[in-house]
């Protein structure tokens, strides 16, 4: 697994961007991208992920702070001098050029000789499995093929860094999943650094070495997908990645990495506390639906409560239960439909519980 | 045809009704427009006697040839200048914010709707030897005596560019608006300088607009009467005025209708050729 | 920065060209107040003498009146025939109706001088030169394209599903026309009417040929005035025509703002 190395390829140092002078589209951004890494910027629309990417590409200049690539300060370097390949949301293939001419474009503007250009274009075409498509017009290709041309065009001049701005957004689900794996394999094969923007958490988890989660202009957390899911540092991250149950509570006492918190209904719960909060402060206790223990299994756990099943939904590989618990009716449990899994009926009273390490106390 | 399959079935049996309501306009067009045009065509090969004698004048008469040359030269120059200025304006309109854009569009549309006669008259007043343009230039000490800006080709060119520019701007602007801005951004990110991105991506994409605007301005310029007649002061004879002179003064119907026919056929041929490249109806679309 | 520099130059140049487009016509306004007897800016003071001359001249009044009623009647003709034609073509929607619509553009494309010769010859045969009905018909037929184009554009904006929805909800053909089609086409009809009106109001070349001795519309009298002697009274008339056009144009802009976008 990759972790930031001492000399990162990309470094955002205290970057702030404001378009109108009053609201920050991105604020106090410090982020590093390691060499050969696949980093995804993830967040809802308006979270600042695209602004971050366009600043790195050079289309926007930070209001404050510096951006370094390969140790060089590129904050004031114009777009075309940055040597960064970019794949756009709707591909932005030039309709006045053939596929081969599109891919040759970055080489042409760099004055590469015709012979070298041809061989590089051929190699790029075969890399994205489009051999023989060079003479077509982009409009004659399917969405997935256009996507591959856009990738080939960004790769062909061997840039030190490739940026991808929601490149799979326009494709249908099946094709999107296929392209995710293709991109991932391309990344592994070429050993190139990629920064990828998406609002789709599954896409981010599938492809990335690390994911940077953004919301309202701020970077919330950067980590490997698994750690991000299992050890979210904030309620936002916990809610944005996957499903979770969040119970409002008040901290009673804390002890190193864990705490005891009281729910509004009076129960006391022990939970992991990644960021220390003073006693008396309000937190949310976050438990993933698939970590809930039911019935007998719950009775052995340190946190054990009474609940009633309100609704049972069968989803194929799993079953989803909605429970009335803790004074509300939106507590979710997910059960994998493995062999021998017992079935439940609505209206049944049942014990629920979880291990202390599966519950995290997070501030807002 | 897709549009036919969209037609709700309830409307189908009434097809005849639609042709009935098309009739008044169609009848007027045929009887009061197409018949007169056909008459011009026929007259050109029958007056004073049947045959192509009138059309031979295109190759033999020096005054006809001089008029044709003047017409082609002025139309070509007008087209060139209108495209050049129009391209810059359309480009700026595309780059401007929406409130600026509205004002710019207003500036383009305003002269469109002021009568050509009024505008030609305004230009005579502005460009005459005692007019404000010459007065201003002399007051600034740029010239010692008035420049001859009117009653010559310069005046005709200024007036014609003024009339034709809105057509050029609107056609080019419609074309440029259809170009995805991200294409230029993509070119920049792939290493093209501003100028390279313009020359290799933007300019080629505006070619249909340039062809459309150029053809439109050129063929409209060919048939111009009022502006060259007034700003040329009788000294710059373009084909339309020459035709009018043949009919009104010398009563040479054969020559007049021959030139009118030539003019009409050239215009329609150019439009037909253009219609193979783009949707001509949009050029005239309001 | 370099980029702002380049954009700034383009913008400045574009505004100069736009000034060249929009401003010159307005030169006639101060000229109409000149105190000289020839076309010039007011020399020592602004004078109303040419406005007075205009107001006391019966010939100009007759011309305005003639232009106005000819434009009104031929606009009415063009609107009725053009709207029916556009709706008919839209509904018939066959290769032939498409050809009709294309043919309707001819009067915009063919140089007016050619038509003027043709209609003059026809009217000589029919003894319609110098007749009101002759001019009205000529202006109606040349005004048709504006109406057909604008109404067709409005019709093209109507989502065919709207009509299907109306029919599906139980509306009859007539009810669908009245409540769904017509309300969506009215702005197009009005725009077309304005264009057809301005077309007739400004038309010069055809009137020169077929106006005879009885019809001196405003453009024709201006034309004669400019060719005879450059009297500043013409600047007064031109000012009036600009004001009138601005009025009509702002009505059209107001309509356009109300017209639903496709």
Residue-wise pLDDT for B195-213, tens only, equals 999 999 999 999 989 999 9
Same domain, residue pair B276 and B194: yes
Q: Is the pLDDT of residue B282 over 70?
A: no
Residues C31 and C36: their CA atoms lie apart, in Å, by 9
Q: For residue A110, what is the nearest residue in chain B, using CA coordinates?
A: B191
Contacts of B191 in chain A (CB under 8 A): 80, 83, 106, 109-110, 157
Residues A270 and C148: their CA atoms lie apart, in Å, by 77
Contacts of B205 in chain A (CB under 8 A): 94-96
Q: In 3-state terms, what secondary structure has residue B204?
A: helix
| Long-range contacts formed by A296-302: CB under 8 A, 24+ apart | A297/A353, A298/A351, A298/A352, A298/A353, A298/A354, A299/A351, A299/A353, A300/A353, A301/A353, A301/A354, A301/A355, A302/A270, A302/A353, A302/A355, A302/A356
Cα C259 to the center of its chain, rounded Å: 19
**E strand segments, A256-327:** 258-263, 268-272, 282-287, 293-294, 303-314, 318-325
The pLDDT of residue B15? 65
The pLDDT > 70 percentage for chain B reads 92
Same domain, residue pair A195 and A132: yes
Q: For residue C108, what is the nearest residue in chain B, using CA coordinates?
A: B284
| Long-range contacts formed by A75-79: CB under 8 A, 24+ apart | A78/B188, A79/B185, A79/B188, A79/B189
- For strands A303-314 and A293-294, give the pairing: unpaired
Residue pair C148/C82 in contact by the 8 Å Cβ criterion? yes
- For strands A161-165 and A193-198, give the pairing: parallel
Instruction: Of C259, C151, C146, give the one whose Cα is nearest residue C201.
Output: C146
Same domain, residue pair A220 and A144: yes
| Long-range contacts formed by A27-32: CB under 8 A, 24+ apart | A27/A217, A27/A218, A28/A218, A29/A65, A29/A218, A29/A219, A30/A219, A31/A212, A31/A219, A31/A222, A32/A4, A32/A8
Which helix (H) or strand (E) segment holds residue A195: the answer is strand A193-198
Q: What are the backbone dihedrals phi and psi of residue C2, each rounded to the nearest 5 degrees, phi first?
A: -60, -45
Residues C192 and C196: their CA atoms lie apart, in Å, by 6
Residue with tokens 């040359």: B69
Same domain, residue pair A31 and A122: yes
Same domain, residue pair A56 and A162: yes
- Cβ of B183 within 8 Å of Cβ of A109? The answer is no
Mean pLDDT of all residues in B112-137: 89
Same domain, residue pair A224 and A103: yes
Same domain, residue pair A231 and A348: no
Residues A311 and C77: their CA atoms lie apart, in Å, by 70
Residues C242 and C245: their CA atoms lie apart, in Å, by 5
Same domain, residue pair B108 and B149: yes
Same domain, residue pair A36 and A134: yes
B9 touches chain C (CB under 8 A): no
Q: Is B278 left (phi over 0), alpha (psi -120 to 50) or beta?
A: beta
Q: In terms of residues, how long is chain A? A: 364
Residue A3 lies in a domain: no
Which value, to the nearest 10 degrees, does the dihedral of the CA atoms of residues B49, B51, B56, B58 take?
A: 80
Same domain, residue pair A203 and A303: no
Q: For residue C257, what is the nearest residue in chain B, using CA coordinates?
A: B102
Same domain, residue pair B79 and B163: yes
Number of structural domains (chain A) is 2
**E strand segments, chain B:** none
- Cβ of B264 within 8 Å of Cβ of C114? The answer is yes
The alpha carbon of residue B122 is apart from the nearest alpha carbon of chain C, in Å, by 5
Interface of B with C in 15-34 (CB under 8 A): 15, 17-22, 24-26, 28-29, 32-34
Same domain, residue pair A182 and A107: yes
> Looking at the partner chain, which of B21, B89, B115 has a beta carbon nearest the beta carbon of C84?
B21
Same domain, residue pair B122 and B39: no
C162 touches chain B (CB under 8 A): no
Which value, to the nearest 10 degrees, does the dihedral of the CA atoms of residues C82, C88, C93, C98 take?
A: -30
Which helix (H) or strand (E) segment holds residue A244: the answer is none
Sheet containing A218-223: order of strands? A84-87, A161-165, A193-198, A38-42, A210-215, A218-223
- Cβ of C84 within 8 Å of Cβ of B88? The answer is no
Query: End of a domain among A176, A209, A235?
Result: A235
What are the residues whose beta carbons fall under 8 Å from the beta carbon of B186, sequence distance 6 or more?
A: A86, A88, A92, A94
Whole domain around residue A157: which residue ranges? Answer: 10-235
What token pair was written down for A261?
Answer: 């918190």
Instruction: Of C24, C113, C142, give the one whose Cα is nearest residue B237.
Output: C113
Contacts of A163 in chain B (CB under 8 A): 189
Same domain, residue pair A287 and A189: no
Same domain, residue pair B71 and B37: no
**E strand segments, B57-100:** none
Residues in chain A with pLDDT < 70?
A: 1-6
> Looking at the partner chain, which of B190, B196, B200 has a beta carbon nearest the beta carbon of A153?
B190
The pLDDT of residue B13? 44
The pLDDT of residue A265? 82
Q: What is the domain partition of chain C in residue ranges?
A: 59-258
Assess whether the previous peptide bond of B28 is cis (omega < 30° from 0): no
- Cβ of C89 within 8 Å of Cβ of B122? The answer is no
Contacts of A154 in chain B (CB under 8 A): 190
Same domain, residue pair B39 and B61: no
Q: Is the pLDDT of residue B17 over 80?
A: no
Residues in chain C with pLDDT < 50?
A: 1-2, 261-262
Q: Is the pLDDT of residue B3 over 50?
A: no
Residues C60 and A348: their CA atoms lie apart, in Å, by 97
B279 touches chain C (CB under 8 A): no
The alpha carbon of residue B147 is apart from the nearest alpha carbon of chain A, in Å, by 46
Number of structural domains (chain B) is 2
Identify any residues that bridge with A323 across adjacent strands, giving them in sequence order.
A309, A331
Whole domain around residue B26: which residue ranges? Answer: 1-46
Contacts of C185 in chain B (CB under 8 A): none
Residue pair B63/B142 in contact by the 8 Å Cβ criterion? no
- The chain-wide mean pLDDT, for chain B, equals 89
Same domain, residue pair A176 and A65: yes
What token pair was written down for B164?
Answer: 């034709």
- Cβ of C104 within 8 Å of Cβ of B109? The answer is no
Q: Is the pLDDT of residue B165 over 90?
A: yes
Q: What are the backbone dihedrals phi and psi of residue A69, each rounded to the nearest 5 degrees, phi first?
A: -125, 125
Band the pLDDT of B2: cuts 50, 70, 90: very low
The pLDDT of residue B16? 74
Same domain, residue pair A22 and A141: yes
The alpha carbon of residue B79 is apart from the nearest alpha carbon of chain A, in Å, by 25
Residue with tokens 């629920």: A352
**Terminal alpha carbon distance of chain C:** 39
B146 touches chain C (CB under 8 A): no
C257 touches chain B (CB under 8 A): no
Instruction: Of C112, A297, C9, C255, give the one whose Cα is nearest residue B241.
Output: C112
* CATH number for domain C59-258, candidates 1.10.3720.10, 3.40.50.2000, 1.20.1260.10, 1.10.274.10: 1.10.3720.10
What token pair was written down for C19?
Answer: 């000034």
Residue pair B257/B40 in contact by the 8 Å Cβ criterion? yes
Q: For residue B102, what is the nearest residue in chain C, using CA coordinates?
A: C253
The alpha carbon of residue B187 is apart from the nearest alpha carbon of chain A, in Å, by 8
Q: In terms of residues, how long is chain C? A: 262
Q: Is A72 left (phi over 0), alpha (psi -120 to 50) or beta?
A: beta
Residue pair C119/C142 in contact by the 8 Å Cβ criterion? no
């Amino acid at each position: 697994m990759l972790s930031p190395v001492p000399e990162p390829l990309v470094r955002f140092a205290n970057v702030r961007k404001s378009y109108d002078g009053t609201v920050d589209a991105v604020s106090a951004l410090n982020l590093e991208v390691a060499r050969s890494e696949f980093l995804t910027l993830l967040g809802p629309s308006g979270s600042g992920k695209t602004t971050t990417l366009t600043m790195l590409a050079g289309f926007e200049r930070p209001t404050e702070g510096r951006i370094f690539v390969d140790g060089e300060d590129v904050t004031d370097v114009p777009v075309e001098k940055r040597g960064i390949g970019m794949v756009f949301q709707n591909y932005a293939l030039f309709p006045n050029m053939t596929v081969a001419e599109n891919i040759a474009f970055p080489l042409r503007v760099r004055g590469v000789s015709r012979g070298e250009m041809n061989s590089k274009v051929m190699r790029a075409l075969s890399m994205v499995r489009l051999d023989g498509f060079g003479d077509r017009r982009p409009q004659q290709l399917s969405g997935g093929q256009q996507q591959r041309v856009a990738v080939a065009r960004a790769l062909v001049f061997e840039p030190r860094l490739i940026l991808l701005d929601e490149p799979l957004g326009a494709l249908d689900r099946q094709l999107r999943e296929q392209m995710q794996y293709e991109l991932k394999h391309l990344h592994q094969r070429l050993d190139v650094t990629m920064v990828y923007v998406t609002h789709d958490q599954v896409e981010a988890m599938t492809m990335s070495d690390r994911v940077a989660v953004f919301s309202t202009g701020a970077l919330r957390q950067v980590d490997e997908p698994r750690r991000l899911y299992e050890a979210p540092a904030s309620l936002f991250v916990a809610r944005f990645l996957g499903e979770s149950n969040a119970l409002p509570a008040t901290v009673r006492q804390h002890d190193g990495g864990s705490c005891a918190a009281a729910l509004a209904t009076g129960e006391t719960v022990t939970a992991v506390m990644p960021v220390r909060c003073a006693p008396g402060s309000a937190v949310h206790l976050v438990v993933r639906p698939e970590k809930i223990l039911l019935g007998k299994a719950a009775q052995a756990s340190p946190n054990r409560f009474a609940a009633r099943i309100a609704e049972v939904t069968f989803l194929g590989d799993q079953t989803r239960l909605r429970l009335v618990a803790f004074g509300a009716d939106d507590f979710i449990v997910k059960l994998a439909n493995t062999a021998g899994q017992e079935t439940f009926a609505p209206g049944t009273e049942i014990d629920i519980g979880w291990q202390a390490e599966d519950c995290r106390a997070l501030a807002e | 045809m897709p549009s036919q399959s969209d037609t709700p079935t309830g409307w189908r049996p009434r097809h005849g009704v639609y042709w009935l309501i098309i009739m008044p306009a169609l009848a007027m067009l045929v009887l009061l427009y197409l018949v007169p045009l056909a008459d011009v065509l026929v007259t050109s090969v029958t007056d004073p006697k049947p045959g192509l004698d009138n059309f031979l004048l295109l190759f033999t008469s020096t005054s006809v040839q001089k008029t044709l040359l003047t017409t082609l030269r002025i139309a070509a120059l007008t087209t060139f200048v209108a495209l050049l200025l129009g391209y810059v304006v359309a480009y700026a309109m595309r780059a401007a914010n929406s409130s600026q854009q509205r004002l710019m569009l207003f500036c383009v549309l305003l002269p469109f709707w002021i009568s050509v006669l009024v505008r030609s008259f305004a230009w005579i007043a502005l460009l005459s030897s005692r007019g404000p343009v010459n007065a201003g230039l002399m007051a600034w000490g740029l010239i010692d005596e008035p420049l001859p800006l009117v009653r010559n080709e310069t005046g005709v060119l200024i007036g014609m560019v003024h009339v034709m520019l809105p057509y050029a701007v609107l056609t080019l602007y419609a074309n440029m608006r259809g170009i995805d801005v991200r294409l230029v951004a993509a070119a920049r990110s792939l290493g093209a300088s501003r100028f390279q991105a313009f020359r290799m991506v933007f300019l080629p994409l505006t070619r249909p607009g340039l062809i459309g605007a150029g053809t439109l301005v050129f063929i409209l310029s060919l048939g111009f009467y009022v502006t060259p007649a007034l700003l040329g002061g009788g000294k710059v004879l373009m084909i339309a005025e020459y035709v009018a002179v043949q009919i009104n003064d010398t009563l040479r119907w054969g020559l007049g209708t021959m030139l009118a026919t030539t003019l009409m056929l050239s215009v329609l041929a150019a439009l037909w050729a253009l219609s193979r490249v783009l949707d001509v109806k949009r050029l005239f679309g309001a | 920065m370099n980029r702002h520099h380049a954009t700034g130059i383009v913008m400045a140049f574009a505004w100069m060209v736009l000034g060249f487009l929009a401003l010159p016509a307005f030169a006639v306004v101060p000229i109409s107040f000149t105190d000289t007897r020839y076309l010039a800016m007011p020399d020592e003071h602004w004078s109303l003498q040419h406005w007075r001359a205009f107001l006391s001249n019966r010939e100009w009044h007759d011309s305005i009146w003639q232009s106005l009623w000819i434009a009104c009647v031929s606009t009415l003709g063009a609107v009725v025939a053009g709207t029916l034609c556009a709706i008919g073509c839209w509904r018939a929607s066959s290769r032939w109706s498409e050809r009709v619509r294309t043919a309707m553009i001819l009067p915009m494309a063919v140089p007016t001088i050619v038509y003027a010769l043709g209609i003059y010859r026809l009217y000589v045969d029919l003894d319609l030169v110098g007749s009101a009905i002759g001019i009205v018909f000529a202006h109606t037929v040349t005004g048709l394209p504006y109406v057909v184009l604008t109404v067709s554009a409005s019709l093209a904006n109507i989502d065919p599903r709207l009509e299907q929805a109306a029919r599906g909800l139980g509306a009859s053909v007539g009810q669908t026309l009245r409540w769904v089609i017509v309300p969506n086409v009215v702005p197009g009809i009005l725009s077309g009417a304005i264009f057809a009106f301005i077309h007739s109001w400004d038309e010069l070349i055809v009137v020169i040929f077929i106006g005879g001795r009885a019809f001196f519309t405003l453009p024709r009298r201006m034309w004669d005035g400019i060719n005879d002697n450059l009297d500043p009274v013409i600047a007064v008339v031109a000012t009036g025509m600009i004001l009138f056009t601005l009025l009509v144009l702002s009505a059209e802009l107001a309509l356009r703002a109300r017209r639903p976008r496709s």
